[in-house]
Amino acid sequence: MCFSNCSWLCTEASGSSSQYLWYVVALAGHQCDSITDVWIDQELIPDADINSSTGEVSTSKFSGKLKIWRHTGTYGQSVNADLDSAFSAWTTSHRLRGIAYLVVRMERDDKVFQGGPPSAFFALVKGKRVYDPRLDSTNGGSGSHRYTDATTWAWSDNSALCEADYMTGGSLFFDQSTPNTRLAGKRPVPWTRMDLAVLSASANECDETLSGANAPPSGSQKRYTCNTVISCAEAKADGLTRIESTYFGRVVYVSGKYRVLAGKYDAPVHTITDDDLEGGWELVGGSEGKEVFNAVAAKYVDVARGRIETMSPFRMNSTYATADGGRKDRVVDLTAVDDPYRVQRLDEIYLRATRDQQPIKLFGNRRLIKVAPEETMNLSLVDLPSWAVGKVFRAVEIETDLGNPPRCAITARVESSTAAGIDGSTATAVQTARGATQGVISNNRISNTLGDGIHITGQASYITITGNTIHDTGDDGI
């Protein structure tokens, strides 16, 4: 994760015949962990081809004609010596501390640079280092991380840790112990106001390894990651929304602390009975004023396609479409996600979890105040509708009156184990070969797929399907 208003800080020429063209390009407004590959327009300069000391580029096309220096923005970084030597106006005071940047020097050569001067520079950057309470032995973890000492932090693309860093301001530098929270503006959230136990649990959810049918063909994959650039001029709420989109996350304030919650199914922690209520319960409005959709696609950045923004295929639920009287599309912004398989799982989460469930509103006495925002519960109530019996509910809105006597009202929705924290296969569970014949598919237990449970391909014949248990598939059961 990076914070940036990427810009060209300087463009100058040097040499007896102005044969050297120099660019100074800011990448991030803070110290970054590392800068590796560089692109000049669409031309890739691999990390291995850039000499970290001299800046010489060994790529055959550019050999002897191009130099690139990469600076990560440390507090202790000194001036770029070659830039200082080339221009009297660029002095030893131009250290650019707290700015990760490139210095590029190109020697004029119409054969090498046939298109003339470049119009854009890009770089592959590992951005901010973040505090991880799981690695802090003083806060329930194991390790040397301390939120009061930025030199102990490490780079991570864990979505929950990135959100906590964004809320607290993290640090501008990582070679100084005292965190510099200038990036958070006037009101960074103190780490003492963060619920570190909940943050650790959410970070574990993000790092959970999915394997087999739940991951790409290339192997295992973490459940959630965040890889994005947030503009320094972006409203904080928009930055939070961008990060939360990567893991279906949300933040709630409970008992004086912020809880950073990952998108996952939570087993019920409360059982609400009639003794907790005073005023009963009622069904409240469901879909009024809400966008109804049954097919989801996402904009995202695809690493495999050169890190360009692309669109995932639409995922449609035919049951939803029938109920809605036809297909209704929605496109979500997942540009902070860079893997098509992770995007596919998130598409399915958005499709299922934002699907309208009839809300129920509970009116209670002081005993109902025990339920915190986003906590889950069972309802053991007289005259509960049949569709709600045995279901788990999540508190999505809480209204509290601390008068005498105190009152509490909770709006809750059904919490589905298959809505958030999708573990399902990214494709079909069982699929025949094209043209297969005289086969048997039997005695399988299939659940939580994102595609069909069992799929019989074209030209297949005489396939016997028997004794299978199938539920909660993303598309057709069979």
As given in the structure block, the two tokens for residue 83 are 């830039």
Residue-wise pLDDT for 200-221, tens only, equals: 999 999 999 987 766 677 778 8
pLDDT of residue 265: 85
Average model confidence (pLDDT) across the chain = 88
Compare 104 and 349 and report the one with higher pLDDT.
104
pLDDT band with cut points at 50, 70 and 90 for residue 461: confident
Residue-wise pLDDT for 301-337, tens only, equals: 988 887 889 999 898 888 889 988 999 999 999 999 9
Compare 5 and 471 and report the one with higher pLDDT.
471
- Other beta carbons within 10 angstroms of residue 148's beta carbon come to 11
pLDDT band with cut points at 50, 70 and 90 for residue 290: low
- Judged against a pLDDT cut of 60, whether residue 388 lies above it is answered with yes
- Judged against a pLDDT cut of 50, whether residue 146 lies above it is answered with yes
Compare 58 and 288 and report the one with higher pLDDT.
58
- For residues 12-20, average pLDDT: 93
Residue-wise pLDDT for 444-453, tens only, equals: 778 656 667 7
- Judged against a pLDDT cut of 80, whether residue 385 lies above it is answered with yes
pLDDT of residue 131: 98
pLDDT band with cut points at 50, 70 and 90 for residue 455: confident
State what percent of residues in the chain have pLDDT above 90: 58
pTM of structure: 0.83
State what percent of residues in the chain have pLDDT above 70: 91
- Judged against a pLDDT cut of 60, whether residue 17 lies above it is answered with yes
- Judged against a pLDDT cut of 60, whether residue 426 lies above it is answered with no
pLDDT of residue 282: 92
pLDDT of residue 474: 58
CB 298 within 8 Å of CB 311: yes
- Judged against a pLDDT cut of 90, whether residue 405 lies above it is answered with no
pLDDT of residue 425: 46
CB 353 within 8 Å of CB 416: yes
Q: What is the rounded radius of gyration, in angstroms, for the C-alpha atoms of the chain?
A: 27
- For residues 112-140, average pLDDT: 93
- For residues 410-422, average pLDDT: 74
pLDDT of residue 424: 46
Residue-wise pLDDT for 132-144, tens only, equals: 999 999 999 999 9
- For residues 163-175, average pLDDT: 95
pLDDT of residue 404: 84
pLDDT band with cut points at 50, 70 and 90 for residue 128: very high
